Amino acid sequence: MRCPFCHNADSRVIDSREADEGATTRRRRSCPKCGRRFTTVEEAVLAVVKRSGVSEPFNRSKVVAGVRRACQGRPVDEDQLQKLAQQVEDAIRATGAAEVPSNEVGLAILKPLRELDEVAYLRFASVYRSFTSVADFEKEIAELRARQAQAPEPTGSVPSGAPAGG
């Protein structure tokens, strides 16, 4: 790494630590020529390619902003939004791709949002999937109902007579 002060081509790492739960590595460096110190941050690249072809770094706060709009008036708090954005980032990074189209970010939002709040999910899906009619909503709601019917009851795994816990 080039020294930002004297532009010496080499520098020495004097300290290295993980930040942001291991997503980034911060390195404290020292320039052997001018002796000044500086910090670098290393992060695995994840770019989002917009429909226009322009790419920009993946930004968790953009995910939060988009989902927050869909969650207006719903019982969803900031922590849940942050957690959802983290799930989205994890899901995208898990694909191993360095670049993803922006519509894949939208797709990655739908699944955890459905778990979080079904009304917000319908709102988000209606925009993202460009619902054009009531029939589109009906179809989506039918799928949500089918999913609920399949899902086991929250207490279903507790044998009858067993303590409820807590």
- The DSSP code for 6 is T
Binding site for Zn ion (CB under 5 A): 3, 5-6, 8, 31, 33-34
2 vs 83, which CB is nearer to Zn ion? 2
Nearest residue (CB) to Zn ion, 29 versus 123: 29
Contact 31, 3 (CB under 8 A): yes
Please, what is the minimum distance in Å from the beta carbon of residue 105 to Zn ion?
40
Shortest distance (Å) from residue 26 CB to Zn ion: 19
Angle between helix 118-128 and helix 102-116 axes, rounded to 10 deg? 160
- Least distance in angstroms from the C-beta of 11 to Zn ion: 7
Beta partners for 19?
24
Phi-psi region of 80 (alpha: psi -120 to 50; beta: other; left: phi over 0): alpha
Q: Which is nearer to Zn ion, 33 or 139 (CB)?
A: 33
